Amino acid sequence: MELRAYLAILWRRRWIALILPALVLAGVVLQAMQSRPSYTATARLIVTRVPQEAPPDVFRYDEYYLYLTNEYTVDDFTEVVRGNVFAADVAQTLAQTTGMQISAGEVQGALSVERRNRALTIRATSFDPQRAVAIAQAAAQTLEERGTQYFGFDDASRRAIISVIEQPLGAASDTRRQQILWALQLAVALVGGVLVAFLVDYLADTLDTAEAVQDALGLPVIGVIPVRRQ
């Protein structure tokens, strides 16, 4: 079948092909009207373990093991930040520093964390930008002040040095993900509408073109009477 034949089918069934995208477009517009943008504030910290004291005549492997320990420590901190104990401490810090009464459950749901080498990135997401910034700042402060207390280390030589290298001073809204989702919905609806149009045309028992009549009856087409349009 030539491309013109496919285009002719789409033109004949154009209303069927447009119904599904139109319905999805109406749903996307409704979602856009009802959606609330979320805001994310970001804090970044550097984590370094205090090197253990060793005699000057002992080879230290260029502090290889110290760097390795640092990375393991950052891995541990990612789990600390995800826990409800840390969330409760952050909520307490918020109450003491800002007077905001936020539950530990809300704090835990707002926080996310990731690591890269010795750097720890903490993100706080909320529908209120000021709330997101406050949670991120409290999380950075709590981790900087308490640090390895979460590991139960009492020995000062085993502590970690945590330094904030990026303070969360503002929160940015990220609607790109939602916009991509809406675009994907429309794209799928367009493809689905085209497929439904072809399916309806395939199942229809009418002969709409001279080629269809010739293929169905096996007889040559002598002439075609054009449709008169008012």
Q: What is the mean pLDDT of residues 201-224?
A: 75
Residue with the larger pLDDT of the pair 68 and 185: 185
In this prediction, residue 5 carries a pLDDT of 76
Residue with the larger pLDDT of the pair 121 and 210: 121
In this prediction, residue 124 carries a pLDDT of 93
Q: Which two tokens stand for residue 58?
A: 């002992």
Query: Rounded to an integer, what is the distance from CA 150 to the centroid of its chain?
Result: 29
Cα(142)–Cα(81) distance, rounded to whole angstroms?
10
Cα(64)–Cα(113) distance, rounded to whole angstroms?
26
Cβ–Cβ < 8 Å for 101, 90: no
Q: What is the pTM of this model?
A: 0.61
The model's pLDDT over 169-183, given as tens digits with 9 standing for 90+, comes to 888 887 777 788 889
In this prediction, residue 66 carries a pLDDT of 47
Cα(230)–Cα(227) distance, rounded to whole angstroms?
10
- List Cβ neighbours of 102 (8 Å cut-off, separation of 6 or more): 91, 94, 95, 131, 135
The pLDDT of residue 224 is above 90: no
Instruction: Round the average pLDDT of the chain to a whole number and report it.
Output: 80
Mean pLDDT comparison of 75-84, 104-113, 142-151, highest-scoring range: 104-113
Residue spans per domain, the chain: 3-35+177-217, 39-173
The residue type found at 2 is E
Tell me the DSSP string of 176-203: HHHHHHHHHHHHHHHHHHHHHHHHHHHH
The pLDDT of residue 26 is above 50: yes
- List Cβ neighbours of 103 (8 Å cut-off, separation of 6 or more): 91
7 band by pLDDT with thresholds 50, 70 and 90: confident
In this prediction, residue 46 carries a pLDDT of 84
Q: What is the mean pLDDT of residues 96-124?
A: 89
3-state secondary structure of 71: helix
In this prediction, residue 94 carries a pLDDT of 92
The model's pLDDT over 61-71, given as tens digits with 9 standing for 90+, comes to 455 444 445 55
Pairing between β-strand 111-116 and β-strand 160-166 as defined by DSSP bridges: unpaired
Superfamily holding 39-173: EIF_2_alpha (3.30.70.1130)
Least confident window among 1-5, 88-92, 94-98: 1-5
Q: What is the mean pLDDT of residues 112-116?
A: 86
- List Cβ neighbours of 211 (8 Å cut-off, separation of 6 or more): 5
135 band by pLDDT with thresholds 50, 70 and 90: very high
